[in-house]
Amino acid sequence: MPKSIILKKNGGPEVLELQNVEVGSPGPDEIKVNNHAIGLNYIDTYHRSGLYPIKLPSGIGLEAAGKVDEIGSNVKEFNKGDNIAYASVPLGAYAQQRIIPAKIAVKVPDGISHELAATLMTKGLTTNYLLTKTYKLRAGETVLFHAAAGGVGQIFAQWANSIGAKVIGTVGSDEKIKAAEENGYSHVINYTKSNFAKEVLKITKNSGVPAVFDGVGKNTFLGSLECLSTRGMMISFGNASGPLDPVNVPKDIQPKGLYLTRPSIGQYFTNRKELQAGADQIFEKIKFGKIKIKISKRYKLADAKNAHSDLESRKLIGPAILIP
Ligand SMILES: NC(=O)c1ccc[n+]([C@@H]2O[C@H](COP(=O)([O-])OP(=O)(O)OC[C@H]3O[C@@H](n4cnc5c(N)ncnc54)[C@H](OP(=O)(O)O)[C@@H]3O)[C@@H](O)[C@H]2O)c1
């Protein structure tokens, strides 16, 4: 019987339990998928811990790539044996086999492996909407991105560089500096050692940056606002250090007339057409060598506990995957 990680209660990594699960047959608009590689994402830890509440018991994981095993009677876009990937609710990607709605899957072209697709979908789609839709990054601009050696961080600077923009990156330890530089960041600041806002103002000769992309959250929010130029945009897209405190608009937003947004993937890819187009843009960047992916670690599905511990203790340098 296929195995899945099932979450019966919220808590630390120890609550991730591997179980045998009866999968059954897909409904009319669904497909059955054999997952070959599963993406590890920071959001998985929010679902596990309860920071983002979910109904329990539940599967966990948003992202995987594999082969279609069976299709529902209404499904026209896919056939048995197609290579597909997905990065969306319903949760349950930490599984050897599962059923998903056909509308969340995209076709993976030849030349893109399952491992690559499972690493790319969430982090690539996030990068895609952040710098082409939330803030339309232009050639010649310099922006700030936090956690530059992380999963999204690895893709973000390469994509920005491919547009002709520069990115200042922050990292949590000296050993991550080299990795961030290799990812394409023009300047890398260790924000556990120095005041990143001061450094950013020094680098930009006090003019600040027009946009900050902040997936760290609680610990970097106020410093990020300091880095912004007049009418700059604060894009808070994650909470690795904890959720944001309430925002003091008159004190923190009003003086520079800043914009503040808190976006999620689902708001930018609202149907299958948008999703496939967004994914194809990422696959193109890979095909033409604009983005290179280095998978930092591969864990067995049964070791998901260790994967979560390593991610939360900031040990991982770059994206990691689970192999079912
Ligand atoms: N809104 C969206 O659409 C969306 C989509 C995907 C991801 N995200 C968010 O994007 C961020 C990056 O995701 P990812 O999966 O690529 O993870 P990741 O960047 O590989 O890992 C998170 C990184 O956050 C940094 N961090 C800073 N303070 C931390 C703390 N107190 N505890 C743990 N980590 C801390 C660490 O890097 P340093 O050690 O270098 O500081 C860590 O490596 C996450 O916040 C995630 O939730 C949002």
Q: Are residues 274 and 171 in the same domain?
A: no
234 domain-assigned: yes
pLDDT of residue 20: 97
Report yes or no on 130 lying in a domain.
Answer: no
Please state, in angstroms and rounded to a whole number, the distance separating the CA atoms of residues 199 and 177: 15
Those residues whose C-beta lies under 8 Å from the C-beta of residue 278, and which sit 6 or more positions away, are 125, 128, 129, 268, 269
Distance 20 CA to ligand 1 centre (A): 31
pLDDT reported for residue 203: 98
3-state secondary structure of 162: helix
Domain boundary among 209, 233, 262: 262
104 shares a domain with 146: no
C-alpha 72 – ligand 1 centre gap (Å):
36
With beta carbons less than 8 A apart as the criterion, state whether 32 and 69 touch: yes
Pocket of ligand 1 contains residue 41 by CB under 6 Å: yes
The answer to whether position 132 is within a domain reads no
Q: Is residue 201 very low, low, confident or very high in pLDDT (cuts 50, 70, 90)? A: very high
Q: Is residue 133 a part of any domain in this protein?
A: no
Q: Which atom of ligand 1 is nearest to the CA of 268?
A: 3
Domain-terminating residue out of 262, 278, 306: 262
- Residue 69: pLDDT band by 50, 70, 90 thresholds? very high
User: What mean pLDDT is reported for the chain?
Assistant: 97
State mean pLDDT over 13-35.
97
The amino acid present at 120, given as its one-letter code, is L
Q: Of 232, 262, 292, which residue constitutes the final position of a domain?
A: 262
Q: Which atom, in ligand 1's list, is nearest to the CA of 265?
A: 3
Residue type, 79: N
Check pocket membership of 169 for ligand 1, CB cut-off 6 A: no
- Band of residue 187 on the pLDDT scale cut at 50, 70, 90: very high
149 and 249: one domain? Answer: yes
pLDDT tens sequence across 88-103: 999 999 999 999 999 9
Indicate if 90 and 158 belong to the same structural domain. no
Does the residue 12 lie in any domain? yes
Q: Ligand 1 mean position to 43 CA, how many Å? A: 8
Q: Is 146 in the pocket of ligand 1 (CB under 6 A)?
A: no
Beta carbon of 150 within 6 Å of any ligand 1 atom: yes
**Is residue 128 assigned to a domain?**
no
163 and 230 belong to one structural domain: yes
Mean pLDDT, residues 19-35:
97
Output the domain CATH number for residue 221: 3.40.50.720
Question: Is 39 close to ligand 1, i.e. is its CB under 6 Å away?
Answer: no
Q: Is residue 9 located within the same domain as residue 113?
A: yes
Counted domains in the chain: 2
Let me know whether 99 and 147 are in one domain.
no
**Helical (H) or strand (E) element with 189:** strand 187-190
pLDDT at 38: 98
Could you tell me the two tokens for 87?
């990065």
Contact between 182 and 206 under an 8 Å Cβ cutoff? The reply is no
| 318 Cα nearest atom in ligand 1 | 20
The CATH number assigned to the domain holding 277 equals 3.90.180.10
Residue 295: pLDDT band (50, 70, 90) is very high
Q: What pLDDT, in 10s, does the model give residues 114-145?
A: 999 999 999 999 999 999 999 999 999 999 99
Task: Give the pLDDT of residue 120.
Answer: 93
Q: Are residues 25 and 115 in the same domain?
A: yes
273 and 251, same domain (yes or no): no
Residues 277 and 254 in one domain: no
Instruction: Tell me: do 115 and 216 sit in the same domain.
Output: no
What pLDDT, on the 0 to 100 scale, is given for residue 258? 98
- What pLDDT does 83 receive? 98
Closest CA to 114 of 37, 31, 33: 37
Which residue's CA is the nearest one to ligand 1's atom 39?
172
Please give the average per-residue pLDDT across 50-78, as a whole number.
97
Pick from 257, 275, 159, 155: nearest CA to 210: 257
Q: Which residue type is seen at 62?
A: L
CB of 237 within 6 A of ligand 1: the answer is yes
Residue 35 is assigned to a structural domain of this protein: yes
pLDDT score, position 36: 98
For residue 168, tell me if it sits in a domain.
yes
Q: What distance, in Å, lies between the first and last C-alpha atoms of the chain?
A: 13
Q: Which residue, chain included where needed, has tokens 């059923």?
A: 99
Examine the domain organization and report whether 156 and 236 are in the same domain.
yes
Is pTM beyond 0.75 here? yes
β-pairing, 63-71 with 30-39?
A: antiparallel
- What is the span of the domain harbouring residue 76? 3-121+269-323
Residues 6+ apart with CB under 8 A from 130: 156, 213, 235, 237, 263
Distance CA 246, CA 254 (A): 15
Ligand 1 pocket test, pick from 60, 190, 216 with the greatest ligand atom count within 8 Å of Cβ, gives 216
What does DSSP say about strands 297-300 and 320-323: parallel, antiparallel, or unpaired? parallel
Whether 221 and 177 have beta carbons less than 8 Å apart is answered as no
